[in-house]
Structure 1
Amino acid sequence: MSDLTFAFVASDAPIAQTARATLTARYGEVPLEQADIIIALGGDGFMLQTLHGTQHLPAPVYGMNRGTVGFLMNAYNEDNLIERLSLSEETVINPLSMTALTVSGESHTALAINEVSLLRAGPQAAKLRITVDGKLRMQELVCDGALVATPAGSTAYNYSAHGPILPVGSDVLALTAMAAFRPRRWRGALLPKNAVVRFDVSEPRKRPVMADADSRQVSNVVSVEIRSEPEIRHRLLFDVGHGLEERLISEQFV
């Protein structure tokens, strides 16, 4: 393990930049393409950015929290890094792909590790039609929005919208409504991981809707199709006893 090479990446926050300078001086570094392990310093948003930016590389990513919540990060400690990595647990997650068609006829694609969400972009509630695997499941959902979340992202926006927390190995996706007005009190559904979910926007000019995939936004959408991408594998490392599965379980008892 002592022969492994590291690449350190950090958010723009001063605390993250200081940590990067300290760790590179102590452990050395190589370019990203040559690293055995990528060390990300920042918060959860920066971790998502790092995973997207390095998905073409084989190296796993080990995060250390220099942000706020740090659900996807490990605790920051300058000492014993090599020992921590030698004992770390690996979790592999697959992202969602989003294909969004706009009012003007443009098609936009993006990947999301946490969730793909649709949000009303005007004063009136959105009207959405939901199709799963080509079968119409809901003719009209009147709401502030809806989202499809992965297990890894189920504690983020999905949980804030009262969606379920999903075990990391459950092979299901959460479809969750935000402030559903009709059907009243509809909270959503659990779907197989290989399901293809399509949202069609009714009255898109009168009731504009935007789509968001891990902060990649598309305005004025008329339809959004979402599916899991099993061929894309994000490898995350966690300290022993603090893996993603344990975190997802613990989050339900706080």
Structure 2
Amino acid sequence: MRIAFLAAQTEAAQQARARLVARYGDSPPGEAEVIVALGGDGMMLETQHRFLGRNPPVYGMNRGSVGFLMNDYREEDLPARLAAAQAARVHPLRMRAHSATGTHAALAINEVSLLRETRQAAKLRIIVDGKERLAELICDGVLVSTPMGSTAYNLSAHGPIVPLDAKLLPLTPISAFRPRRWRGALLPSTARVVFEVLEAEKRPVSATADYTEVRDVRRVEVREDPSITLTMLFDPDHSLSERIIAEQFTV
């Protein structure tokens, strides 16, 4: 099996890569059958973004902190683990953010979030599939998450955890002030969501797709892009679907 080893810049990840390369060899990423990413969840996202459009299977091993998207780190029997691994396939979100400087496009594996830039709360209008659903949301921000990303920022903002095969996108407010009791919505994965920034000069808002940020946006469009598939590999006794279900029972 041709394996490419990529590692975060931390000492633990770099040392792990050196040991694994000495044991199993190292193929160029473009020629590898599988990429092993060493680090934390950020390293998994970085690796997926790096190879968007090529869709190599990526098997993560945790040399970071949380490691929700990573498998346990073990150096023994790696080819056998890779052969037995189960694939989780997800589609990213595509963001088109319109600002005073033009239109900016980016992809998000976890979420697209809008956040206020100053002390002033953001005012947003929410349109779903061409229909206005919320005329004015006063808040710190709002986000649209993929099912995989529903356990990340979305969960921290008290949004719902969504199973991978649910074909749903959580739409979650961040510190909503008005409507005070609005807790968000679950949208079909085919939904096209538009956020219009109200009073944009007085209440500037930024938009971020994973780690691509656009400042001073006026309008942001978000949809799932089914033409792009990302493949992550997980040990069968700890699949991503199982982790997402288990996370809902974590107290």
TM-score in same-fold range (> 0.5): yes
Q: Find the counterpart in structure 2 of residue 95 from structure 1.
A: 92
**How far apart, in 2, do the equivalents of 1:29 and 1:56 lie?**
22
- 1:206 is aligned to 202
Give 2:223's aligned residue: 227
Looking at structure 1, the residues matched to 104 and 54 of structure 2 have their Cα atoms a distance apart, in angstroms, of 24
Instruction: Give yes or no for the alignment of 1:17 onto 2:25.
Output: no
Which residue of the partner structure matches residue 141 of structure 2? 145
> Once the two structures are superposed, what CA deviation does each residue of 1:63-100 show, in whole Å capped at 9, x if it has no partner?
00111100110011111111111211101000000000
What is aligned with 2:5?
A: 8
Pair 1:131 & 2:160 matched: no
CA distance in 2, matches of 1:113, 1:159: 15
Post-superposition Cα deviations, 1:205-224, rounded to whole Å, max 9, x if no partner, equal: 11010111111111100110
Q: Note if 1:78 corresponds to 2:86.
A: no
- Answer yes or no: is the 8 Å Cα contact 2:55–2:229 preserved in 1: no
Deviation at 1:237, TM superposition (A): 0.2
Superimposed CA distance per residue, residues 36-70 of structure 1 (whole angstroms, 9 cap, x where no aligned partner) = 00000011111101001012324200000111100
* Structure 2 residue 25 is the aligned partner of structure 1 residue 61: no
**How far 1:105 sits from its partner (Å)?**
4.0
Contact 1:145–1:177 under 8 Å retained in 2: yes
The answer to whether the 8 Å contact 2:93/2:223 transfers is: yes
Out of 25, 35, 48, the residue aligned to residue 28 of structure 1 is: 25
| Equivalent position amino acid for 1:248 in 2 | I
Instruction: Report if aligned partners of 2:81, 2:235 keep a CA contact under 8 Å in 1.
Output: yes
Determine if the alignment matches structure 1 residue 175 to structure 2 residue 175.
Answer: no
User: Are positions 1:242 and 2:238 aligned together?
Assistant: yes
The share of aligned pairs that are identical, in percent, is 56
Report the Cα distance in structure 2 between the residues aligned to 1:248 and 1:13, rounded to whole angstroms. 27
Question: Hey, what's the Cα distance between the residues in 2 that align with 1:161 and 1:60?
Answer: 30
Give unpaired runs (5+ residues) of structure 2.
none
| Residue of structure 2 in register with 1:52 after alignment | 49
Residue aligned with 1:62, SS: strand
Q: Whole-Å Cα distance in 1 between the matches of residues 173 and 56 of structure 2?
A: 36
Unaligned runs of 5+ in 1: none
Q: CA deviation at 1:186?
A: 0.9
Q: How many Å separate the matches in 2 of 1:241 and 1:204?
A: 49
Please give the alpha-carbon distance, in whole angstroms, between the structure 2 residues aligned to 1:71 and 1:185.
Answer: 30
Taking the aligned partners of 2:230 and 2:7, their CA distance within structure 1 comes to 18
Q: Aligned equivalents of 2:6 and 2:101: distance in 1? A: 38
Number of aligned pairs? Answer: 250
Secondary structure at 2:124 match in 1: strand
TM-score (norm 1): 0.97
Question: What is the TM-score with the length of structure 2 in the denominator?
Answer: 0.98
SS at match of 2:245: helix
Cα distance between partner residues in 2 of 1:68 and 1:216: 22
Q: Check conservation: 1:33, 1:57, Cα contact below 8 A.
A: no
- Number of the residue aligned with 1:164: 160
Is the Cα contact below 8 Å between 2:88 and 2:232 reproduced in 1?
Answer: yes
Q: Higher mean Cα deviation, 182-191 or 52-61?
A: 52-61
Distance in 1 of aligned mates of 2:247 and 2:55? 30
SS state at 2:106 partner: strand
Distance of 2:80 and 2:32 partners within structure 1: 17
Q: Any idea what the Cα deviations from partners look like across 1:169-206, whole Å, max 9, x if unmatched?
A: 00010000011110012110000001000000001111
